[in-house]
């Protein structure tokens, strides 16, 4: 965590994080213009933030986009916040909440897992695995263009537009999101009005990028394709983080995270 504290100690780097928190997915040029900082200075600060895993980099064609990564802030909050009085830790708690819940388009989240690319790929593509950490079974032959049968609780659905987009074993997996139907809504307790709003939105997609880094694997989850003011985007922000955390825990310990008790923070 030393790298995270060092990165956060500099006011210019905190300004960069604030800027990305307000408008995520900016290029170097956009960050320089918004903060009125020299390109070389911004580039150096971004390198420090990336090395501390506080930002994640993706590419859009030839453009390099910078996104906030909430995981290091979560780790700091989980380890330290309970050791201090709440009023002393409120700023950190507020930043943690902002990184997790502030609407952004797309959703990008990075974690580091003590596993292998092969085991992570298996966990992403095997229904028996996905059911453990997700509560949903995703069945497919995982070939580009193939449909995915999605089973969640009592709901099972296969749709010709619910398909695999990319599948490079142990490296990259991308697929379109499931279909929102009335019976899905009933199975998870969503009211008809909310399901209708979700069904009216364009179909989004989820992408998993896997990168081996020594003894650990870097997993970047990107969920995009949302409409402006998307209802699903807000739900995704709260849904992916515990799923990814449970996946990490399962691969590292053999057990999934316990379901939170009623009233837990």
Instruction: Output the pLDDT for position 75.
Output: 65
The CATH number for 171's domain is: 3.30.530.20
Q: How confident is the model over 46-53, as a mean pLDDT?
A: 90
Instruction: Output the pLDDT for position 180.
Output: 95
Widest CA span of the chain, in angstroms? 56
Could you tell me the CA-to-CA distances from 2 to 48, 59, 179, 225 in Å, in that order?
12, 28, 43, 36
With cut-offs at 50, 70 and 90, classify the pLDDT of residue 199. Answer: very high
The CATH number for 90's domain is: 1.10.10.10
Asked whether the beta carbons of 110 and 56 are under 8 A apart, the reply is yes
- The pLDDT tens digits for 112-145 are 999 999 999 999 999 999 999 999 999 999 999 9
Same domain, 65 and 190: no
Instruction: Output the pLDDT for position 63.
Output: 86
- Identify the domain containing residue 171 by its residue range: 108-253
* Alpha-carbon span 145 to 66, nearest angstrom: 30
- The pLDDT tens digits for 140-193 are 999 999 999 999 989 999 999 999 999 999 999 999 999 999 999 999 999 999
**Which one of 102, 135, 155 terminates a domain?**
102
First to last CA, the chain: 23
With cut-offs at 50, 70 and 90, classify the pLDDT of residue 94. Answer: low
Asked whether the beta carbons of 213 and 117 are under 8 A apart, the reply is no
Same domain, 80 and 55: yes
Same domain, 81 and 119: no
- Global confidence as pTM: 0.69
**Which one of 40, 69, 102 terminates a domain?**
102
Total count of domains within the chain: 2
Same domain, 56 and 82: yes
């Amino acid at each position: 965590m030393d790298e995270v504290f060092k990165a956060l100690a500099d006011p210019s780097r905190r300004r960069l994080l604030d800027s990305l928190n307000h408008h995520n997915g900016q290029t170097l040029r956009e960050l320089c213009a918004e903060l009125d900082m020299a390109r070389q200075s911004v580039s150096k600060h971004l390198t420090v933030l990336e090395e501390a895993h506080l930002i994640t980099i993706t590419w859009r064609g030839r453009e390099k986009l910078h996104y906030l990564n909430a995981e290091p802030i979560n780790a700091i909050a989980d380890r330290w916040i309970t050791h201090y009085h709440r009023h002393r830790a409120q700023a950190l708690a507020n930043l943690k909440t902002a990184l997790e819940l502030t609407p952004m388009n797309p959703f990008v989240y990075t974690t580091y897992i003590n596993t292998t690319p092969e085991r992570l790929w298996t966990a992403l593509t095997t229904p028996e695995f996905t059911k453990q950490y997700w509560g949903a079974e995703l069945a497919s032959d995982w070939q580009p263009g193939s449909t995915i049968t999605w089973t969640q609780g009592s709901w099972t659905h296969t749709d010709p537009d619910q398909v695999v987009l990319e599948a490079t074993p142990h490296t990259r997996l991308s697929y379109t999101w499931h279909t929102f139907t009335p019976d899905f809504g009933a199975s998870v307790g969503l009211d008809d009005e909310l399901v209708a709003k979700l069904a009216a939105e364009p179909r989004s997609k989820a992408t998993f990028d896997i990168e081996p880094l020594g003894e650990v694997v870097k997993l970047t989850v990107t969920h995009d394709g949302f409409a402006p003011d998307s209802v699903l985007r807000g739900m995704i922000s709260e849904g992916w983080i515990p799923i990814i955390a449970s996946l990490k825990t399962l691969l590292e310990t053999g057990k999934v995270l316990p379901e939170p008790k009623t009233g837990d923070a």
